[in-house]
Every structure is written in C-alpha cells, then in structure tokens.
Amino acid sequence: MTIDLRLEPNEMPLLMDLYHLTMAASFFEEGLNDTACFSMWVRRLPPSRGFLVLAGIERFLEALEEFRFDQAALEFFDSLKLFRKEFLDYLATLRFDGEVRSMPEGAIFFAEEPVLEVRGPLIVTQLFETLALNQIGMASLIASKAARCFVAARGRRLIDFGLRRSQGADAGLIAARSSYLAGFDGTASVLAGKRYNIPLFGTMAHSYIMAHESEREAFASFARNFPRLTTLLVDTYDTLRGVKNACIVARELAREGVRVQAVRLDSGDLLELSVAARRILDQEGLNNVSIFASGNLDEYKIDGLLRAGAPIDGFGVGSAMVTSSDLPCLDAVYKLVEYGGKPRVKCSIDKATLPGSKQVFRALNRDGKFCGDILALREESAQTIMQEFAPPPERVEPLLTIQMQQGRRILPRPSLNDARSLFLANLKALEPRYKDLTNPAVYPLKRSAALNAMVIEQRLWAQKQQS
C-alpha cells in the first residue's frame, strides 16, 4: 500500500494534467514533434509587489534529468482507455534530451521576464508545464514573500516557523528552503534542516509549560536541559508575570552556568509587551537576554513594530510567509513561443504572449546597481542592446544562461548558500525605491526593437491562423 502522505519516486513525472497526455498522443498520431521552445514568466504582479526572487530551478532540473514513465504509470495510462499501444510504447522510451536555459537560482526578476526556457521536441517539452509552474512557481512565490520580510526586519534575526500552516508537506519544505535563500537565518522544520542543511532553531510550546506544575519549574528544567539553546515562552498565562518568572529563573541558573538566551512573546500587543519586557529584563540586569516575537507576523507587522521602536531582536514568521497570504499564487505561465524554428503567439484577451525565444539583459551602473532590464530576442547581443538603453549603462548582463544541453546539466549545481549569496548581492544592487513594501516604484523594463518588430509581425500571423 502506498502511504498517502508520501510522494513516491515514480510519481514525480505524473505531476501533469491529463491534457498534456492527450495532446502528446495527438501530436504523436499527427507526427508533430519538431523543436519547440516553451518559456515561463510571471504575467503580472499586484502594485504592492516591486520584485520577485527566483527559486525552484534546481528541483526542476533534477526532475528533468530523471524524467521517465515507469511500468505502473504506463499501466495507469492504459487503464484510461484513451491511448493506443504504439503511443504507450513511445512514452515508455521518452526522455528529455533538450536544452534548458534559466536565470540563476536566487536572482531578482520582474513580471513579464522569462525565467526559464525549455527547448526540445514538442511532445516532451509540453509535458513539463505543470511541473515547472508548480515547483518553480511555489518556490519563487515564497522566496519573494520572504525577501519582503527580510527587507522589513532590517537585520533582525528571522526564523521560518511555518511548517504547521504551510499547504502540505512539500510546501513546508519549499518554504523553509526559499526563506533561507531569501535571507532568513534558519527554520524550525526538522526535515528542512536535515535535507538542506539549514540552521535549525526552536523555542518551546505552550504544552511544555502546561505539562509542568508551575511555570518557573518548566522554565528551569528546560534551561538546564538545553543550556545553550534556551528561549523561554512567557505568554502561556500572564505575559509580564511570565517575563518576571523568566528573570527569576535566569538569575538562579546563571549560578549554574546556564544562560537564558531570550524570552519569546507569542500573543497580545507585541509593541507594548516588548517594551515592558525589555524594561523588566533590564531592571533585573538581564540586558543580554534578548526578545523574540512570533504570532501572525508578516512583513507589514514587522515593519510597523520596528518603525515604532519595538525592542525586538528576532522574529518567528509562519503562516503569512509560508502561504504568501496576500498573494497566494503567482500568475505564472509556461507557453509555447517557438515551434519548428518559427515564433508563435497567443492573443487571448489580457493573456496575450510575446513570440520567440528570449534573453533578458540587465543594465548596471557604475556602482553595480540595477538600472533597468530589456526583454530581447535570444540571438541579440549585449553590445546591440547596450545602445537601446538611454542613457547607456556601465554594462549589460544577459540573465538567462544554458543549464542543460541534450538533457544533461552543463553547469555545476549551485548550493543553497550560493543561491542565498546571489540573492543578497542582487538585493543590494536593487535601489530602495523598488523594495518599498506598499508602493514600490515600477522597475524599468522595455522590449528591444527587434522583439517589438516580431510582435507586430506575429499579430498578423495569428489572424491568418483562424481563416
């Protein structure tokens, strides 16, 4: 029996929609399998969001390397009574042997910019739509949300507390990884710590306090058992009395060489309580005991608390970050932009696409700050594009690079720490006005002249498709 909680290895290629299979079958019957290029981008962002952070590319590439349908999958397809044996035999041998280009894991990007392009035979490349959107979409969504918390926290410690409220097991893992990538200091999730080597942090639950006959007894025994890792949760009963109890215990245990690191506030008015708790701690000579806060926090609340001067040294961020609660999914798409060497477009209302395989060029000024991007055709050169910026920038960088060729990775796998470093460098290079939490400036993005010309040509082509 398959335990339902687990995603078995052979199930990964089945993360697709039925129509990917029926379209594959139809293409197979028609003999349509020329080289296609699919491009993934985010269509638009709400005005409160100034930038996005790319994540999930690594997982996607790993999945492509291992992509194959096993016997169980083929038997399931057969049971649907939709497919001919010849097609199922073909699926049994199907592998991805194409090319993947992408921006690097951890890169800052903007709406409308392709972050991924998959090129290869039509049948196999179209199968990856759902996998790409599900995995890269989710990982980037959370990295982008976590980056906002990182901006708001102004260097205070940030810990992912969200596994319990994340949307399933996979979401919890992705959120821990994406938030660490985007500047968080660690996670409470044991599995994420094990898998990704992310620093683990933890305090204590209310149940720990409640299982003891008194709050002080609970504090003291935990601190003795973890003399290097003690954050005391003070709000189980009355918060400020809890802080006072923490002080009593901290001073008593200091004699034994045990150090209480912090108190944790998890409810009530965090500004008021943190000010009062700081005062109590300082009066008791416990200036080195820090204050950690949690409880329905997001970037807006963290920003508000710190602007108001709350003496909080670290934040545990859960539900709002791990679900990106104000924007719980990205309007990301994976669309055919080229087939058989020719550009393709769709013209659906509000959902039109731009034709052709592309490159995103980013202009940097003398200080290394980002000063605008140009969306160009793949074959355009940085030199030509340089001319299209006004004023001309110090230099121009192409953001999409080849990751896989003939189905194999050609670049070394970046570690999570590499991606984190890249994110931190990118964030530094992004001017503060684009990082505003509520009303960010719109980052300059324009299309190259060659892309614009192709758009016009393609609109005419599309009209002919319906006659």
Please report, as residue ranges, which positions from 46 to 105 form the binding site for its own copies (by CB under 8 A): 58-59, 62-63, 66, 73, 76, 80, 82
Return the range that interacts with its own copies (CB under 8 A); candidates 22-30, 254-262, 375-383, 441-449: 22-30
| Shortest distance in whole angstroms from residue 245 CB to its own copies | 6
Does 456 help bind its own copies (rule: CB under 8 A)?
no
Residues 369 and 429: their CA atoms lie apart, in Å, by 4
| Shortest distance in whole angstroms from residue 10 CB to its own copies | 9
| Shortest distance in whole angstroms from residue 87 CB to its own copies | 10
Does 268 help bind its own copies (rule: CB under 8 A)?
yes
When the beta carbons of 203 and 361 are compared against its own copies, the nearer one is 203
Query: Which of 202, 304, 398, 414 touches its own copies by CB under 8 A?
Result: 202
Burial 102-125 (b: 16+ CB within 10 A, else e): bbbbbbbbbbbbbbbbbbbbbbbb
Query: Restricting to residues 127-156, which ones interact with its own copies according to CB under 8 A?
Result: 129-130, 133-135, 137-138, 141
Does 163 help bind its own copies (rule: CB under 8 A)?
yes
Other beta carbons within 10 angstroms of residue 294's beta carbon come to 21
Amino acid (one-letter) located at 404: M
Query: Which of 20, 68, 95, 409 touches its own copies by CB under 8 A?
Result: 20
| Shortest distance in whole angstroms from residue 396 CB to its own copies | 31
Does 169 help bind its own copies (rule: CB under 8 A)?
yes
Does 215 help bind its own copies (rule: CB under 8 A)?
yes
Residues 38 and 241: their CA atoms lie apart, in Å, by 60
Contact assessment for residue 389 and residue 446, using Cβ atoms and an 8 Å cutoff: no
Does 165 help bind its own copies (rule: CB under 8 A)?
yes
Query: Which of 44, 154, 164, 433 touches its own copies by CB under 8 A?
Result: 164
Does 26 help bind its own copies (rule: CB under 8 A)?
yes
> What strands lie across the sheet with 157-160, from one edge to the other?
186-187, 157-160, 314-317, 290-293, 260-265, 230-233
Amino acid (one-letter) located at 249: V
Query: Restricting to residues 337-376, which ones interact with its own copies according to CB under 8 A?
Result: 339, 344-351
> What strands lie across the sheet with 370-377, from one edge to the other?
395-398, 358-364, 370-377, 445-447
Other beta carbons within 10 angstroms of residue 29's beta carbon come to 12
When the beta carbons of 326 and 386 are compared against its own copies, the nearer one is 326
Residues 297 and 370: their CA atoms lie apart, in Å, by 30
Specify the pairing of strand 290-293 against strand 395-398.
unpaired
Residues 369 and 306: their CA atoms lie apart, in Å, by 27
Does 120 help bind its own copies (rule: CB under 8 A)?
no
| Shortest distance in whole angstroms from residue 380 CB to its own copies | 23
Question: Residues 389-428 vs its own copies: string with x where CB under 8 A?
Answer: ----------------------------------------
Query: Which of 193, 314, 393, 440 touches its own copies by CB under 8 A?
Result: 193
Question: Residues 271-310 vs its own copies: string with x where CB under 8 A?
Answer: ------------------------x---------------
Using alpha carbons only, give the angle 399, 404, 405 rounded to the nearest 5 degrees.
Answer: 120
Amino acid (one-letter) located at 137: G
CA distances from 381 to 22, 116, 265 (A): 39, 19, 55
When the beta carbons of 8 and 394 are compared against its own copies, the nearer one is 8
When the beta carbons of 239 and 359 are compared against its own copies, the nearer one is 239
Residues 283 and 293: their CA atoms lie apart, in Å, by 20
Does 253 help bind its own copies (rule: CB under 8 A)?
no
Does 324 help bind its own copies (rule: CB under 8 A)?
yes
Q: For residue 371, what is the enclosing H or E element? A: strand 370-377
